[in-house]
Structures are given as C-alpha cells and as structure tokens.
Structure 1
C-alpha cells in the first residue's frame, strides 16, 4: 500500500525537478527574457508619473481653475509617458516572443536528438502519433510559460512595491488597504494552480492518445476498408475526440473560475479605496488626523489602486501557463522515460571505427505476436571483418535474427555482444520511406551529406538506374512508405541510405530480391567494394549473393560452415 505522505513528497520532488529543467531549457534565451521583464518593469514604474500627470490636470482644472495653457507641462509629461510605455510594451512583447521561439526550437532539437538516439526496440513500443505530439502540442504548451509567465513574474516583483510606496507617500490609509488585500491573490493562485496542473496534464495526455489513435488508423486505412470496420473506427475516433473535449473544458472551467475570483478580490480592494475616499470627502470619516485630502491625491490613489493589482492578475492568468508547462514537462518525461537534456559537447561526426566481431550465445527469439519461437539455442562467433550469409526457407527466422542483431527485438533468452562497439547499419526488406523527395529520404542517414555524396551512394545502390528516368531525378517526390516506387526500388533507396551512414557492421535482408540479373550483378559488385573493412551479416535466398560471404549460417538448426565454391539453391 502506497504511503500518501511519501507519494506527496515524490510528487513535490518531481515538480521541482521539472521546474529546474524548464529553467535550464531557457538558458539560450535568458538575455531576451531579462529584456522582456525589464521592459514590463519600466512600463509599470512609469504608471506613477502617468497617474501624477492625470491627477495634476484634474486638480488644476476642477479645483484651481487653471487655463489649459498653464497645464502644458502636465500634458507634455502625460504624452511622453504614454508614448514611452507603448514603446516598452512593444519591445517587451517582441523580446518575449523571440525568447519563446528560441526555447521551443531548442526543445524540438532535444526531442529530435533523443528520438534519433533511441534504440529501435524502444521506439517500437511507442505510438508514432504520441511521439509526434511531443514536437507539436506539448512543445507549444511552453509558449505561454516563457512569453508570459516568466516576464510577468519579474513585473510582479518589481512594479507593485514601487506603486505601493508611491501610494503610501501620499496616503497611508490607501497604502494599508492595498498591502492587506494583496496576499489574497497569490494565495488563491497557488491553490488553483495545483488543480490546473493536474487538469492540464490530463488534457495533454488525452490529446497525445487521440493523436496516436488517429495516426494508427491512418496507417491501417486500407485494412479498415477491406474488413468493413470504418463505422466502428469512426466511433472510436469520436470517443477519443470527446475525451479531449471534456478535459479541455475542464481546464477552461478552472481558468475562468480562478480569473473570476481574482477579479473579485481586486475589485473589492479598489471599491474599499473608493469608499474610503468618498467618505473622507464627505467628512463622514477622518483617518488622516485632520489633514486635508485634495482631489488630486484621491485621483492619484484611485488610478494606481487597480494598476497595483494588474500585474498580480496577469500573473494569475499566466499561472495557468505555468501549470500547462509543468504538465507538458511531465508528459514528455513519461513518454521519453526522462526529460531530454542537451547533448554534451559539440556535435562532431563520429568515426566509423574498426570492424566489430559478433558473439551470439544461446539465442532464443520469438517475433512479436508469434505463438512460438523461430530461433532456439543459437550460438556462433563472427570475427571482425567477416562476411556471414544466413540462409534457410522462408519463416525460419532469418529476418528475426537480423532484427535481434539490430536491437529491434528483445531476445527471450541468450544475448548478442558486439566487440568492439561500432556503428551499425540495417537495410531491411521494407525500409520506411517518408513523404518527400528521394534525396530527402537519403539524407535521413546523413543530413550533412553533399550532393556528390548523395549521387555516389545512389549510384552504388543502383538507385540511379530508375531515378534517372524520373522527372526530377533524386528530387522526385514520393509518398508515404515509398508510394510511387516498386518494392525493389524502395529497397535500393534503403540500401543507399546504409551506404551514406557508413557503418562498421552491415546487416542486409534480401538486398537483391526482385532485381534482374544485370542490376543484381552491378549491385553486388558495389557491395563488395563497400564491404571492405566491414563486418557483414546478410539474409538471402540468392545463390549469386552468397558469393559475397565467407561463411554460411543455415537456419533452422544454426549450423555454420565456410562457403563452398558452389552452394545449392
């Protein structure tokens, strides 16, 4: 049974950890955030001369009967202050917006790096739609925190004390009213913030689940139509959308309720100030000890009273942005198992390293969803730089073995060691191709690859045999999962990506399937040149491809032997 106190302490510790992470994430934009906060503070301090100028004009016109010409200094002061405050507000908003954009770009870079470094086995346990939401909704949820909450927090610490001192200077009673009612706003703000954070996290979690559900249905749209499940799946999407609607309205209800209560506290405080001034002018109370209260002083206090609460009200409104940012951080931590941190040191290209050896010990493998194992008690050792061909009938576990070597599949027993650790490249039978040009899909392996390197890899993988006939060559746009290319053409694009990656351990799954003899011969010649100084494990049915191998591993059974001069089909 969970101890409630321990659970609460763990929750508080987790919140503090996320707050520190949000603070560290702002490091690239600290100067802009400071500029935004300073602009807000200066604009708030200028409220004092602004209120003084307005009070001066009203006192001069209504009480002293001065002509407009005698009030030109007051009008000049008021105009100058208004212009200056408008410029400061503009500069502050620009700085806060630029800071938020910089920080969100930094977070997206961290998320992208985390996903690129993730093991395939880890990625296969996640839903693509949920991970995509981290880059979009969850990242955008931080905008209000950095562009609104943090600058406003600086304003709250800088502006109300100055306004309070100015009010105390002219009338201590009004200053005391403001001082006693001010703590009610942050107190209620903290109480509501806990509920807002929980509701915001539920809403973001539901949105991520809906996105994952919708993305999964889009991927399986053909099967849904084939089996006539469209109506049922639409109902499932309707339920997911309804969950998002309910939780979004819950967040809005908390926001509107808290804003209403905070406005009530501020309005009551201003009303008390107005009541005191009115009764003083009517000589019904005298808390000043007989000292006269001029109209200008009363106007000055009435103008500053609502402005004293304005930063607190803005902070209360942005406090929901803080709750939303903490909720987004919690969701990111849950989806990624940790909050993404910046990469240590400069991102330098990694050297390929020496060819590794492989040691496989008592390996037992079961494909996901399969009722039984396809590989049992498999063991072999592969020396560095050796080329191994895995052969056997369809369904004997060749692809499953390659997936285990690549880290895509968790063994049920035994293990795989790579000595020394090195860069790995895996060209599967069905490489995932994204919507975009062929060149874009190739650059996934190396974003910094030059056009010449791209063409060289495409030539080696025999991609140019068909790309040269396309309208725009490598810049031709293809659809999701390689729509517009044949199966063999898609495999060659995946193989070209492997060439660009420049791995020390090469895993190939039927690299020459569906190729005509001439294309197969050219591809194998290019592979032979590429594999120099590398370790190879290749699953194949092709007797021609077997000529690349030094050893042959037969499945099932796991018998390993040196390749003979001629290997039967």
Structure 2
C-alpha cells in the first residue's frame, strides 16, 4: 500500500500556490471573525452586568446592543467572505488538477491507455480530485484559525481572570495530542476507502460497457454478485472511516467538555463563596465573559480535527493518483537513441524511415524489421499485405503511438497528423458532438464539409435530426461502416498534413467505396495520405503500394 511521502505533502502545498492569495484572504477573514468573538462576548457580558446587577434602564444599554449587532454583522460578513474565497480557490484548484491528471494520462499514450481499466482511470479526475475539496476549503483555513484565534482568546481570558486562563491553557494541549494519536489510522483507512471506491467504479463501468454480452451469455446474475461485493467493500470502508471520525470527535468533545466544566465549576464555587483564590471579588461581567469564551477556545481545534480527515483523504488521493499514473514509468522499454523524433529532413520529405523495427510491449519478436522508406509531401500510398503483417502497427508508429524498437523514424517538425484507427470509438451523444471532439470551435459549415468528405452526409440526410441525431456509446445505432466514416470525418476536421487511415473502406459497397475514395483524394490533394487496406480498388486508385512485411514499394497503374 503506497504511503504518503514528503513528495505528496509537498504536492499538496504546491497545489495551493496559484490561489495562495485567495486562501490568505479567506484565512485572514476567518481569523478576524474568530477574534471578533472576544468583542461579542465582552459586549454581552457588559450588557448583562448593567441590566441584572446595576439595574440600569434599557435605553442606557441600547448602545451596547447596537454595538453587539454591528459586531455580529461584521463577523457574518467576514465568514461569508472567507467561504466565498475558499470556494473559489477550491474550484480553481479542482479544475487545474483535473487538467493536469488528464494531460498526464494523455502523455502515457494510447497504447498504455488501451491496457488500463477505463472505470479506474475515470476515478482519478473524479472522486480522487474531489477528495481535495475538504483539504483546501476546510483544513487549510482551520489550520490558520487554530494558529491565532485560541491564542488571542486565551490572552483576553488571562487579562480578565488568570485562573480561568490557566485552566484553559492546561487542558488545551491535550486535544492535539489525542487528535494525532487517533489520526494515525485515518490515512490508512482513507487509502483503503479510495481503493475500494476505485475498484467498484472500474468494475461497474466495465460491466456496463459489456452489458449486452453479459445478458447474451446469461452472466447477469453472476456479474450482479460481483457489483454487490464491490459495493459492500465500499460500504465497509466508509464505516471504518466513520468510526475513526466518530472516535476522534468523541475524544475532542470529552476534553473540551472537561475544560468547560472545570471553568464552570470554578466560577460557580467562586460565586457561592466556597472557593477563595482571587484577591478581588468576581463580578458577573468577568465570569460571564470567561464562560462564553471557554468553549470558543476549543472550537478551532475541534474544527481542525473535523478537517484532519480531509487532509488524510487528500494525501491518500495524491498518493493514489501518482501511483496510478507512474505505473507506465516503472519499467520503461529501451528505445534506440533518436528512434522516434522530429527533425530536419530533406526537402519535400515529411517522414523518413530507416532500418525500422517495431515490437509491441511484451512481444518476444518484432512485427516489422529493417523497414526503410520515405514519405514525401503530397504523396499517396497504400499499405498492403496479409493479415497480421504489421499494417496497423506501422500506422501507429507513424502516428507516434508506438516507439521504435530499433532503427530510426524521423518526422518533420510541426507536422499535423490525423489518424483514423481500425476500431474507432464513438461516444454517447449526437453525431455533431462526436465530430466536435476534434475541433470544439468548428462552425456548422466546417462540420458539413468534413462530413461530406467522409461520405457521412450520405446516411445522415436520411436521419430525422441530421447531424444532431444521438447515438449510443461505442457508436450504438450506426453500422460498422457508418461508424468508421464518422470517425474519419472527425479526423478530417483536424485539418491534418499527414493522413493515416486504417481500412477506411471496410464494410462498404463498391459504389460507396468509390465515392469515399474520390472525396478522400480530393481532400488530400496537397496532403500526404497513407491507407492500410486489403482492397485492390484502393491500391489501384492510389497507384503506389508499400507491401509488408518485406517493405517493397510498387507502383500500380491508377484506375481511370
């Protein structure tokens, strides 16, 4: 089980750097609101003294009551300002951390992502990031409050009655000691809870995606039991965390109650004349002031204890995020120096391949060996060969998805690459939403142009809502060929300079294939086009074929 390291604590501190100003304002407002308790308690005590002891008329007490209302309004405004600034800081940090997590996931590359559980990865920017809310918006403010507010209140109490101040000073340190003892188990419980939550999310998401197959093979009941077991693990973990929280609260309440009870007992015995410690009699205002502030001295520590578990959750979340995202870096595969990079190439050459060998992670033998060729700007070639010869593997390497095992693959600098895989993924939403993933700011005219080039409009025009027609996860509602054309239109919308297509005409009839090829060639007139295919019509139309696995380049007479 990963343990919180100094790096995790440093990361938590570094997270607050972009919004440190807001958190400082929130902390100052919280401290001032806490210090205002002394003024509020003093006004209440003086008003009680004048009414109950001095029997002054109400009009002479009215200024004190007005001042009391003013202090209350100021404290309420300070509390609102602190909460507003803290919430704004939480939103900013949550957004930045989610962007950071997503970027780190993207940096691992699509090949690493293919072997991960989608549900587990979805928990990282979701529940794990949300676990930091209480730390930023609660623990940090409570820590600043506990640094200053009890000290100021203790000074005020000491100034009025040193005996009460001494009682509070002796009992106050016991709370942090026992809070630390109880809190030792909070980190481990939080990590186990996050683990259980991640497992349940991953399990449920994966089963949801395969719900059709589960029902088809009659495994619904068995998988339901698995989901129930994962949910039970989350429930048990939540109860363990709650037990620790309740134990911590009980310890704090016990010592706080004991401290307040000792102050009340001292004041009561003093007023009854049974205890003579003071040199001067204790008036009502002094006793009431001390009694009102006694529980408030402990209150910041109690709030800190309540948010101490938020700190434990935040440490656990940061540790889990790093552990999940660093898995791919624990055993990096050796890559030949300069094997996959962007560099300076001869004029008109956008990709240069020399003695390239490609091997998938964990494979014992390369898929392709000693492959050499050049791709020129505006060149159109087809990748051909028997199934399993490495066509898709070479496209992944050209796209930058797969590092070279040996040899050299150089791409021209700032080359925009568009890659349409053989099994593209479409998301639940409208067809237009799936297209806008490539270009969120694309206009309606640009969407229609890309859809026309990919022959998407051929079947979209027959749909009642056109491009706004909704489809299910994985392209549910579309045929295999239609889904590939939507994915192709999404790639075209990126305006790539190098277009890599894996079987774009599969599952299409001859007429649709011919129209799609014509539209692709029109789109790629000044672009480099590489198509992996088994179709002789595609090979003849492109006119140049790279045969795999031997890497022989052949020219064919283009069809008229």
TM-score under structure 2 normalisation? 0.88
1:380 to 350, 372, 381: 372
2:480 to 464, 487, 493: 487
Aligned residue in 2 for 1:68:
58
Deviations 1:311-366 (A, max 9, x none): 1111110111111112111122122229xxxxxxxxxxxxxx98631426363546
Matched-pair contact (CA < 8 Å) for 2:187–2:312: yes
1:300 to 283, 289, 303: 289
Matched-pair contact (CA < 8 Å) for 1:387–1:548: no
Mapped to 2, the partners of 1:238 and 1:373 lie a distance apart of 42
Mapped to 2, the partners of 1:282 and 1:158 lie a distance apart of 34
Is residue 526 from structure 1 mapped to residue 519 from structure 2 by the alignment?
Answer: yes
Write out aligned runs for 1:88-487 (5 A). 88-288=78-278, 290-337=279-326, 356-359=350-353, 361=355, 363=357, 365=359, 375-377=367-369, 379-385=371-377, 386-408=379-401, 414=406, 417-420=409-412, 422-487=415-480
Aligned residue in 2 for 1:347:
none
How far does residue 204 in structure 1 lie from its aligned partner after superposition? 1.2
Q: 2:536 aligns to what SS in structure 1? A: coil
How far does residue 299 in structure 1 lie from its aligned partner after superposition? 0.8
Write out aligned runs for 1:15-34 (5 A). 15-24=8-17, 27=18, 29-34=19-24
How far does residue 16 in structure 1 lie from its aligned partner after superposition? 2.6
With over 3 angstroms needed to count, the CA separation of the structure-2 counterparts of 1:439 and 1:527, relative to structure 1, is: same
Deviations 1:503-559 (A, max 9, x none): 33322111122333343233222322333454433211222211454642334x424
How far does residue 120 in structure 1 lie from its aligned partner after superposition? 0.6
Is residue 51 from structure 1 mapped to residue 41 from structure 2 by the alignment?
Answer: yes
Mapped to 2, the partners of 1:52 and 1:379 lie a distance apart of 86
What count of residue pairs does the alignment treat as equivalent?
Answer: 538
Q: 1:561 aligns to what SS in structure 2? A: strand
How far does residue 427 in structure 1 lie from its aligned partner after superposition? 0.8
How far does residue 129 in structure 1 lie from its aligned partner after superposition? 0.8
Unpaired stretches in structure 2, ≥5 consecutive residues: 328-344
Matched-pair contact (CA < 8 Å) for 2:358–2:403: no
With over 3 angstroms needed to count, the CA separation of the structure-2 counterparts of 1:451 and 1:240, relative to structure 1, is: same
Deviations 1:132-173 (A, max 9, x none): 112321122122122212222222223222211111111112
Mapped to 2, the partners of 1:165 and 1:457 lie a distance apart of 73
Matched-pair contact (CA < 8 Å) for 2:543–2:557: no
How far does residue 444 in structure 1 lie from its aligned partner after superposition? 1.2
Deviations 1:257-290 (A, max 9, x none): 01110111111111221222223223333333x2
How far does residue 561 in structure 1 lie from its aligned partner after superposition? 2.4
Mapped to 2, the partners of 1:437 and 1:312 lie a distance apart of 52
Mapped to 2, the partners of 1:418 and 1:542 lie a distance apart of 29
With over 3 angstroms needed to count, the CA separation of the structure-2 counterparts of 1:492 and 1:164, relative to structure 1, is: same
Q: 1:399 aligns to what SS in structure 2? A: helix
Mapped to 1, the partners of 2:495 and 2:558 lie a distance apart of 30
Q: 1:481 aligns to what SS in structure 2? A: coil
Matched-pair contact (CA < 8 Å) for 1:425–1:501: yes
TM-score under structure 1 normalisation? 0.87
Mapped to 2, the partners of 1:245 and 1:322 lie a distance apart of 21
Q: 1:536 aligns to what SS in structure 2? A: strand
1:77 to 67, 75, 90: 67
Matched-pair contact (CA < 8 Å) for 1:356–1:504: no
Structure 1, 466-475 or 487-496: larger mean CA deviation:
466-475
Mapped to 2, the partners of 1:194 and 1:538 lie a distance apart of 59
Unpaired stretches in structure 1, ≥5 consecutive residues: 1-6, 339-352
Mapped to 1, the partners of 2:69 and 2:368 lie a distance apart of 85
With over 3 angstroms needed to count, the CA separation of the structure-2 counterparts of 1:374 and 1:102, relative to structure 1, is: closer
Matched-pair contact (CA < 8 Å) for 2:135–2:314: yes
Is residue 539 from structure 1 mapped to residue 536 from structure 2 by the alignment?
Answer: no
Deviations 1:75-110 (A, max 9, x none): 222222223323333333233223322322222233
Mapped to 1, the partners of 2:239 and 2:39 lie a distance apart of 42
Mapped to 2, the partners of 1:356 and 1:307 lie a distance apart of 71
